[in-house]
Amino acid sequence: MSKQQLASGKTFSFARFARNWNIGLVLGIVFLLLQAALVIQAQFVNTRYFCWAPHTIQAQYTLRVEIDGKILSEDDVKKRYHLKGFGWEAHSIHNVFALLEQHEETYGKKDQARLTLEYRVNGGDRHTWIWPKQ
Amino acid sequence: MMRNLLHAANPLRCTDKSLPPVLVVVAKILALVLIIRGDQPFELYLPYFEFIDSIAAPELFHLALRGMTYTGFVLLFFTPLLRSGCLLVGAAFLIGLLSCRPCLSVAHTYVAALFIILALSSNASGSRLLRLQVVMLYAGACLNKLRDADWWNGQYFETLMVTRHAHELYIATAALFPPMMLSTVMGIITIFVQLALSICFLRRSWYNTGIVLGLTFHGVMIILMNGTFGPFFMAIVISYLAFVEWPEQIQISSEGSVWKQRLQKALSAIDFDRLYHKVHQGGAGPSRLQITLNGRSYYGFAAFQLLVFYNPIIMAFAAFVLTESHFGVFRRFIVLFLLVFFSPLMTRFVEFIQTGSLAKATK
DSSP output for B299-338? EHHHHHHHHHHT-HHHHHHHHHHHHSGGGGGGHHHHHHHH
Distance of CA B6 to the CA centre of its chain: 28
Q: Note whether A127 and A65 are same-domain residues.
A: yes
Q: Note whether B207 and B156 are same-domain residues.
A: yes
Q: Note whether A83 and A29 are same-domain residues.
A: no
Distance, in Å, from the CA atom of A126 to the CA atom of A118, rounded to the nearest integer, reads: 7
Q: Note whether A121 and A68 are same-domain residues.
A: yes
SS3 A28: helix
Residue B153 has a pLDDT of 96
**Consecutive 10-residue averages of pLDDT for chain B (363 residues):** 71 85 95 95 96 94 98 95 96 98 96 97 93 97 94 96 95 96 97 97 95 92 85 94 89 71 76 71 62 84 86 88 80 86 81 66 53
Residue B266 has a pLDDT of 80
Is A121 within the bounds of a domain? yes
Please give the tally of structural domains in chain A. Answer: 2
Do B124 and A25 count as a contact with CB atoms less than 8 A apart?
yes
SS3 B211: helix
To the nearest 10 degrees (0 to 180), the angle between helices B312-323 and B21-37 is 30
CB A58 within 8 A of CB B160: yes
Query: In B, which residues are within 8 Å of A83 by CB distance?
Result: 102
**Chain A interface residues (partner B, CB cutoff 8 A):** 22, 24-25, 27-29, 31-32, 35-36, 39, 42-43, 48-58, 60, 81-83, 88, 91, 95, 98-99, 102-103, 106-107, 121-124
Distance, in Å, from the CA atom of B33 to the CA atom of B76, rounded to the nearest integer, reads: 14
Do A60 and B232 count as a contact with CB atoms less than 8 A apart?
no
Do A24 and B104 count as a contact with CB atoms less than 8 A apart?
no
Q: Note whether B81 and B136 are same-domain residues.
A: no
CB B141 within 8 A of CB B196: no
Out of B105, B126, B147, a domain closes at B126
pLDDT tens by residue, chain A, 134 residues:
445 554 445 566 666 655 656 889 999 999 999 999 999 999 999 999 999 998 899 999 999 999 999 999 999 999 999 999 999 999 999 999 999 999 999 999 999 999 999 999 999 999 999 999 87
Q: Note whether A68 and A97 are same-domain residues.
A: yes
Is B242 within the bounds of a domain? no
- Closest partner CB to B106 (pick from A29, A52, A83): A52
Nearest residue of B to residue A19 by CA position? Answer: B124
Is B160 within the bounds of a domain? yes
DSSP B45: B
CB A65 within 8 A of CB A118: no
Q: Enumerate residues 6+ apart whose C-beta is below 8 A from B85.
A: B27, B31, B71, B72, B73, B74, B75, B76, B77, B79
Is B74 within the bounds of a domain? yes
Is A49 within the bounds of a domain? no
Cα Rg of chain A (Å, integer): 25
Q: Note whether A23 and A85 are same-domain residues.
A: no
Is A47 within the bounds of a domain? no
Do A39 and B107 count as a contact with CB atoms less than 8 A apart?
no
Nearest residue of B to residue A61 by CA position? Answer: B164
Is A50 within the bounds of a domain? no
Out of B64, B98, B126, a domain closes at B126
Q: Note whether A118 and A71 are same-domain residues.
A: yes
Do B107 and A51 count as a contact with CB atoms less than 8 A apart?
no
Query: In A, which residues are within 8 Å of B184 by CB distance?
Result: none
pLDDT digits (tens, 9 = 90+) for B148-206: 999 999 999 999 999 999 999 999 999 999 999 999 999 999 999 999 999 999 999 99
Q: Note whether A67 and A126 are same-domain residues.
A: yes
Q: Note whether A80 and A120 are same-domain residues.
A: yes
Residue B283 has a pLDDT of 52
Q: Note whether B75 and B92 are same-domain residues.
A: yes
Range of the domain at B351: 250-309+324-355
Query: In B, which residues are within 8 Å of A82 by CB distance?
Result: 45-46, 100, 102-103
Q: Note whether B196 and B214 are same-domain residues.
A: yes
CB B238 within 8 A of CB B287: no
Instruction: Convert A31-57 to b/e letters by CB count within 10 Å (16 or more is b).
Output: bbeebeebbeebeeeebbbbbbbbbbb
Residues β-bridged to residue A66: A71, A114
Q: Note whether B46 and B122 are same-domain residues.
A: yes
Q: Note whether B196 and B114 are same-domain residues.
A: no
Q: Note whether A22 and A67 are same-domain residues.
A: no
Dihedral in degrees, nearest 10, Cα atoms B260, B261, B267, B271: 140
CA angle A86, A90, A92 (to 5 degrees): 100
Peptide bond into B231 cis (omega under 30): no
Is A53 within the bounds of a domain? no
Is A48 within the bounds of a domain? no
- ipTM for the complex? 0.88
SS3 A95: helix
Is B99 within the bounds of a domain? yes
Query: In A, which residues are within 8 Å of B145 by CB distance?
Result: 56
Nearest residue of A to residue B160 by CA position? Answer: A58
Out of B64, B95, B126, a domain closes at B126
Please give the tally of structural domains in chain B. Answer: 3
Range of the domain at A31: 3-42
Q: How many CB atoms lie within 10 A of CB A111?
A: 14
Q: Note whether A26 and A70 are same-domain residues.
A: no
Q: Note whether B211 and B279 are same-domain residues.
A: no
Residue A1 has a pLDDT of 45
Residue A6 has a pLDDT of 47
Is B238 within the bounds of a domain? no
Q: Note whether A68 and A107 are same-domain residues.
A: yes
Is A54 within the bounds of a domain? no
Cα Rg of chain B (Å, integer): 23
Query: In A, which residues are within 8 Å of B129 by CB distance?
Result: 25, 28-29, 32
Residue B256 has a pLDDT of 62
Is B334 within the bounds of a domain? yes
CA angle B129, B130, B131 (to 5 degrees): 90
Burial environment of residue B323 by CB neighbours within 10 A (0 to 12, 13 to 18, 19 or more): buried
CB B231 within 8 A of CB B108: yes
In 3D, which of B42, B128, B35, B124 has the Cα closest to residue B77?
A: B35
Q: Note whether A127 and A63 are same-domain residues.
A: yes
Is B297 within the bounds of a domain? yes
Nearest residue of A to residue B98 by CA position? Answer: A50
To the nearest 10 degrees (0 to 180), the angle between helices B58-78 and B21-37 is 140
- Closest partner CB to B148 (pick from A32, A35, A56): A56
Is B239 within the bounds of a domain? no
In 3D, which of B84, B41, B81 has the Cα closest to residue B65?
A: B41
